Structure 1
Amino acid sequence: FMGGYNSVVSPKSWLVTLLLCLFVGVFGIHRFYAGKIGTGIIMILLCWTGISAIWALVDLIMIILSKFKDGQGLLIQR
């Protein structure tokens, strides 16, 4: 179900989220865009570790599969 007042799909762009994760995902920028500020900050703090890179890879897979949610819990889909 897309559109309307009870939309279960995020208004955030799937393509923008994908590109941000692909190019600057290790810094968590895609999470800031999606409204996940807290985890975005954590990713910035961990960006010098391998943890952030693995986290970004998992996020990238979730975004590609349209299973990534925004800060409101709505799916960011194509």
Structure 2
Amino acid sequence: MENQNIRSKTELQGHDKVVGYLLWIFGFTGSHRFYFGRPISGTIYFFTFGLLGIGWLIDIFLIPQMEKEADYEYRQGEFNYNIAWLLLTFLGVFGVHRFYQGKFISGIIYFITGGFALLGVIYDYWTLNDQISELNEQNSN
């Protein structure tokens, strides 16, 4: 019984502060902001190197609140945000995050084309939270 509770708790895990801080290390690229569902500020960070490092340093204190807001906004379920984001961040050009979501055709296309020459990867940085939330919604019905 206890193992079942642990299993269901980890399956329904949403965004995680530890992953947020791991991505924060690369924060000058905005990856932690994309992860917490803030694509506009993530894009600004990407082009300004984390607002010249100042915003990046301030974010170390803002990550706990960003986690709470992301967990409130996006549906938890079978598909884990942490896994999807780590796959996108480190293997996105190979489409591994798409395979994880069960999107095999686009995963193969990403693999062959380098994530549509990185344009698809950029699109996924903007929309991955919504994609995972939508899949979790579909699987809950």
TM-score, L = length of structure 1: 0.66
Of 50, 72, 81 in structure 2, the residue corresponding to residue 14 of structure 1 is: 81
Query: Is residue 121 of structure 2 the alignment partner of residue 56 of structure 1?
Result: yes
Offset at 1:74? 1.7
Q: Which has the higher contact order (CA 8 A, sep 6+)?
A: 1
Cα distance in 1 for residues equivalent to 2:103 and 2:77: 13
For structure 2, the residue ranges without an aligned partner over 5 or more in a row are: 1-11, 13-74
Check 1:10–1:36 CA distance in 2 against 1; reply closer, same or farther (3 A cut). farther
Offset at 1:67? 0.9
Aligned residues: 64
Point out the structure with max Rg over C-alpha: 2
Cα distance in 1 for residues equivalent to 2:136 and 2:117: 22
Offset at 1:75? 4.5
Task: Kindly indicate which of the two structures has a greater share of residues assigned to helix.
Answer: 2
- Percent of paired sites with the same residue: 30
Offset at 1:51? 2.7
Instruction: Tell me the C-alpha RMSD between the 2 structures.
Output: 2.6
**1:12-68 Cα shifts (integer Å, max 9, x gaps):** 101110110011101100000111011100111111xx73311011112212xx211
TM-score, L = length of structure 2: 0.39
For structure 1, the residue ranges without an aligned partner over 5 or more in a row are: none
What's the counterpart of residue 41 of structure 1? Answer: 108
Off by >6 Å, runs of 4+ in structure 1 = none
Cα distance in 2 for residues equivalent to 1:10 and 1:57: 24
